[in-house]
A and B are shown apart, each in its own frame.
Chain A
Amino acid sequence: MTEETDFTQQDSDGGSEEVVLTPAELIGKLEQAWLNEKFSPELLENKCEIVECVIEQLDHMIEKFFPHVLEKEKTRSKGEPSILSPEEFAFAKEYMANIETYLKTVALRHMPPNLQKVDLLRSVPKPDLDSYVFLRVKERQENILVEPETDEQREYVIDLEEGSQHLIRYKTIAPLVASGAVQLI
């Protein structure tokens, strides 16, 4: 019999919850989290115990979108799960501080006094939630709204059958990725 492993999770209040996963399930979850994060245009919810192995992907994404990520964290209310783990949050803040110092030292200092501020939120590109992604459906979904591409088309609804594969814009199905109902491929 395969052994079962306990993975103790710390939630945001500092209490702990035990989630019992078989090692095989853990590898499966790791793979799913890896694939979803790889193909998603935006940063997805943090999966504490499996994130160590996905750390490189996340670093890259944080570096690309850092002011928006930090802004999102700031506006996140108490009860909702954090998008970043404590280590990632520290990394993001440090990265931001480093970039600001770098821009200041290398360029801003030499510019006329009234132009010496840079608004990172506006100058760094936002994650493109309108990107197209491929997905496979894990749980059947009904009545997903597909928005029209041109003015002549009208919006229509589709059902997502279990096991089927689709190409669609990320924005429409973003909540389904978070809930695990679809898998990005």
Chain B
Amino acid sequence: MDSAEVEFLAEKELVTIIPNFSLDKIYLIGGDLGPFNPGLPVEVPLWLAINLKQRQKCRVIPPEWMDVEKLEEIRDQERKEETFTPMPSPYYMELTKLLLNHASDNIPKADEIRTLIKDTWDTRIAKLRVSADSFVKQQEAHAKLDNLTLMEINTAGAFLTQALNHMYKLRTNLHPGESAPSQDF
């Protein structure tokens, strides 16, 4: 899966915006949106929020977890714990990137937030590397990865699953007496 596809899934997340136009309720396949009234906050999916912001038709309200103190707490907790801490949103990476790229004027202390998120991401990816390493060394058959977000799984996942598949084949081929057909991809 590409990062772009993960981002596509993330764009369904709801964010609050303040439109500067008015529009009656619209009925889309994925659900109803609106009505939109200037100055009144309304929840819309991220893809629409970004689009409206680019056309200068709204102001974006950052999610309540996108705040320097909150993110500092999360980053510190991530560094302390050996396991993965639950993140405030399953799409924290994509939300931060899109909102900081397109609506940084609506987000206080945007640069600090960027750094904090990057630090948290780096810590989590490092933990993921360590745990993948021990998974492979101990030849585990199963792993539980509850608090990982899709973007993190996707970053490490393709390589990890292919490596595990190869190892499995090498292992099972050590026992030629088994009923494995001669050509098994």
- Pairwise interchain contact B145-A167, C-beta atoms closer than 8 A: yes
CB pair A131 B165 closer than 8 Å: yes
Contact status B146-A132, CB under 8 Å: no
Check B23 for interface membership: any CB of A closer than 8 A.
no
- Spot the interface stretch: A7-15, A94-102, A141-149: A141-149
Expressed in whole angstroms, the Cα–Cα distance for A150 and B32 within the complex equals 53
Interface residues of B in 108-150 (CB under 8 A from A): 135, 139-146, 148, 150
Q: Are B153 and A185 in contact (CB under 8 A)?
A: yes
A23 near B29 (CB under 8 angstroms)? yes
Are B31's CB and A153's CB within 8 A? no
* A-chain residues with CB within 8 Å of residue B171 when the two chains form the complex: 149-150
Residue of B nearest to A147 (CB): B141
Whether A19 is near chain B, meaning CB under 8 Å from some CB there, is: no
Q: Which residues of B contact A130 (CB under 8 A)?
A: 165, 168-169, 172
Question: With A125-B183, A128-B184, A166-B145 known to touch, is A149 a contact of B140 (CB < 8 Å)?
Answer: yes
Q: How far is the CA of A132 from the CA of B183 in the complex (A)?
A: 19
In the complex, chain B residues whose CB is within 8 Å of the CB of A39: 1
CB of B183 within 8 A of CB of A123, answer: yes
Question: Given A2, A3, A26, A164, which contacts B146 in the complex, CB threshold below 8 Å?
Answer: A164
- Is the CB–CB distance between A146 and B142 below 8 Å? yes
Judge whether A24 and B31 touch: CB under 8 Å.
yes
A122 contacts chain B at the CB level, 8 A cutoff: yes
Q: Which residue of A has the minimal Cβ distance to B146?
A: A164
- List A residues at the B interface (Cβ < 8 Å): 2-3, 23-24, 26-27, 31, 38-39, 122-123, 125-126, 128, 130-134, 146-150, 153, 158, 163-169, 185
List B residues at the A interface (Cβ < 8 Å).
Answer: 1, 9, 27, 29-32, 135, 139-146, 148, 150, 153, 157, 160-161, 164-165, 168-169, 171-172, 181, 183-185
